[in-house]
Amino acid sequence: MLHASQPGASRRSLLCGAAALAAALSLGLPSGRVRAAEAPDGRTLLEKFLSGVACASGAFEQETITREGRRTGAASGEFAFLRPSKFDWQYLKPYRQRIVGDGEMVRIYDEDLMQVTEKKMTDAVAATPAAVLFGAGRIPADWVVVAEPGVVSLTPREAAGGFERIEVAFDASGLPNALGLVDAFGQATRIRFTRFTPGTPAPERFVLRVPEGVDVMRDAQ
C-alpha cells in the first residue's frame, strides 16, 4: 500500500509500514455499515470492539484506487489476530504472501521470491493501520478522531510511513465491516471483511516455519 508501482511493497504495508490517518470520510467503503442516525457513533463502536474482542479470524478482499480513480491491486486472503501483538495476514490471490507477528518479530514470507524478511516488532510496527484493529486495544492518544454513525476516521497529528488517513466501518453487529487507507500519494486502499469471527485461533497461526531453501533476510531497524 505504498505507491502503485510497488506492488510488493503495497502488500506489506498494511501491517508493517505505516502509522495511519484522517478527517474526511471519503473512502467509499462498501455498503452494509451502520448508517441509521440512532446507531452508535464510530468511535464508540471502535472502543467497544477494541475492549471486547481480544481475538478473531476471518477473510478479506482488497483493492487499490489510484489518485486518478483507477482500480488496481485486487487481492483476497485470510487473517487472524490475538491481542496484544500476534497476527497472521495471508494473501491467497492473485499472489501468495504471509505476514506473521509472534509478539517479538514480524516475518514476511513472499512465496514467489522464496524469501522471508524479518523485522523486530517495535512500537513503530505496533502503530500501523491494521494495529488499530488488531493491536494493543486502544486508540493512540495523539490521533485526531472524527466519528459518525457506524464509521470512524482517524488521523495521526504527524503523518508517518506514507499514510495520511484510516477509516473503519462497522456492521450492525458492531464488528468491523471494512478498513480504508489513504496514502501520501493520494492512493486509497479498501479492505472489505467478508468474514469476521471472534474466537481464539490455533496457536500455530502465529508461527511462521520457514520452508527449506527459502532465504531469510533481517531488515535494519
Res. 221 pLDDT band, cuts 50 70 90: low
Report CA-CA distances (Å) from 202 to 59, 88, 119, 198: 16, 11, 23, 13
Give domain limits for the chain.
7-195
Looking at the structure, give the CATH architecture of the domain made up of residues 7-195: Clam (2.50)
- pLDDT value at residue 159: 62
pTM: predicted TM-score of the whole model, two decimal places = 0.79
Task: Express each pLDDT in 21-64 by its tens digit.
Answer: 222 234 455 444 444 456 689 999 999 999 999 999 999 999 99
Q: What is the average per-residue pLDDT within 107-113?
A: 93
Burial string for 199-216 (b: 16+ CB within 10 Å, else e) reads eebeeebbebeeeeeeee
Burial string for 147-176 (b: 16+ CB within 10 Å, else e) reads bebbbbbbbbeebbbbbbbbbbbbbeebbb
- pLDDT value at residue 62: 94
pLDDT for residue 132 is more than 50: yes
Provide the CA 180 distance to its chain's centre, in angstroms.
9
Coil, strand or helix: which one is 55? strand
Amino acid type, 84:
P
